[in-house]
Amino acid sequence: MAEVAEIDALMRPYQGKVPGASVLVVRRGEQVLRRAYGQADLESDVPATPLTNYRLASLTKQFTAAAIALLVEARRLGFDDLAGRWLPELPASAGAIRLRHLLTHTSGLIDYEDLIPAGTEVALRDADVLGLLAAEPRLYFAPGTGFRYSNGAYALLALIVERAAGIDFASFLRERIFA
């Protein structure tokens, strides 16, 4: 199929001993292409596969924010809800953090990546981020008084989506946004 050859050509920079990529093309509900290129792990020489779990990081923030907005629209939560309403594990220092602060990077949360114990080699899940932040009594600044980009805030928002919706984050995104 000519389209597959065109996609292979576009993906040429991802072939060989380079960081990889996985591609799925669906047209009218039919799978046209499902292929991986390059490496999932360069150090261990592990090739990427169509099932490789990539760390999407900031690419998911718009979907997390949309999920929160959908739950606000459905009156399951509010932008001015205190984060502690949904995440009672958070320390007292986080008591004034509202969902809008998490969404707008104005929560003052400490960067969880600075809290990861030395020698940790496994990827952290959102619940792990909550655990790290729950044990941290400090904030960078009082919520709403400053700005600092926060990956941790979005990990917390994903957990809030799960708790407010009653289903896991991936299922919520699949059902309410992607499907």
Cβ(86)–Cβ(160) under 8 Å?
yes
Token reading at 84: 């502690």
Task: Give catalytic status of residue 58 as yes or no.
Answer: yes
Residue appearing with tokens 């739950």 = 71
Determine contact, residues 8/33, Cβ cutoff 8 Å. no
The catalytic position among 22, 58, 93, 107 is 58
Helices then strands, each counted (H, E), the chain: 7, 4
Strand partners, 115: none
Query: In degrees, to the nearest 5, what angle opens at C-alpha 89 toward C-alphas 73 and 123?
Result: 90
Least confident range of 9-13, 66-70, 119-123: 119-123
109-138 pLDDT, tens digit each: 999 999 999 988 888 899 999 999 999 999
Determine the Cα–Cα distance for residues 4 and 9; give it in Å rounded to an integer: 9
The region of weakest confidence among 48-57, 99-108, 132-141, 156-165 is: 48-57
Q: Can you give the pTM of this predicted structure? A: 0.77
